[in-house]
Amino acid sequence: MTFLTHQTSESQTTSATPSVREVRIGTVTIGSGYPVAVQSMTSTDTRDVRATVEQIHRLEEAGCEIVRVAVPDEDAAAVLPEIKKSISIPLVADIHFHHRLALKAIQNGADKVRINPGNIGSEERLKEVARAAQDAGIPLRIGVNAGSLERDIVDKYQGPSARGMVESALRAIHVLEDIDFRNVVVSLKASDIRMTVEANVLFRQECNYPLHLGVTEAGTLRTGLVRSAIGIGSLLFQGIGETFRVSLTADPVEEIKAAWEILRSLRIRSRGPMIIACPTCGRCEVNLLSLVDEVEKALTKVRAPIQVAVMGCVVNGPGEAREADFAIVGGKGQGLIMKKGEVVAKVQEDKLVDALMEEIEKLLPKNRGRIK
Closest by alpha carbon to 252, among 50, 84, 59?
Answer: 59
**Least distance from ligand SF4 to the Cβ atom of residue 334, Å:** 15
- Other Cβ atoms less than 10 A from the Cβ of 187: the count is 27
Binding site for ligand SF4 (CB under 6 A): 278-281, 283-284, 311-313, 315-317, 320
Closest by alpha carbon to 84, among 116, 42, 115, 43?
Answer: 42
Q: Which is nearer to ligand SF4, 175 or 327 (CB)?
A: 327
**Least distance from ligand SF4 to the Cβ atom of residue 286, Å:** 9
**Least distance from ligand SF4 to the Cβ atom of residue 349, Å:** 15
Q: Which is nearer to ligand SF4, 137 or 279 (CB)?
A: 279
**Least distance from ligand SF4 to the Cβ atom of residue 288, Å:** 7
Q: Which is nearer to ligand SF4, 56 or 310 (CB)?
A: 310
Q: Which is nearer to ligand SF4, 158 or 290 (CB)?
A: 290
**Least distance from ligand SF4 to the Cβ atom of residue 326, Å:** 16
Q: Which is nearer to ligand SF4, 248 or 278 (CB)?
A: 278
**Least distance from ligand SF4 to the Cβ atom of residue 281, Å:** 3
**Least distance from ligand SF4 to the Cβ atom of residue 258, Å:** 25
Q: Which is nearer to ligand SF4, 281 or 289 (CB)?
A: 281
Q: How far apart are CA 256 and CA 269, in angstroms?
A: 13
Q: How far apart are CA 260 and CA 69, in angstroms?
A: 21
**Least distance from ligand SF4 to the Cβ atom of residue 222, Å:** 22
Q: Which is nearer to ligand SF4, 179 or 289 (CB)?
A: 289
For 250, how many CA atoms within 13 A lie in the half-sphere containing its CB?
18
- Other Cβ atoms less than 10 A from the Cβ of 75: the count is 11
Q: Do the beta carbons of residue 200 and residue 211 sit within 8 Å?
A: yes
Q: Which is nearer to ligand SF4, 155 or 323 (CB)?
A: 323
Q: Do the beta carbons of residue 68 and residue 110 sit within 8 Å?
A: no
Q: How far apart are CA 366 and CA 364, in angstroms?
A: 6
Q: Which is nearer to ligand SF4, 85 or 346 (CB)?
A: 346
Q: How far apart are CA 268 and CA 260, in angstroms?
A: 9
**Least distance from ligand SF4 to the Cβ atom of residue 277, Å:** 8
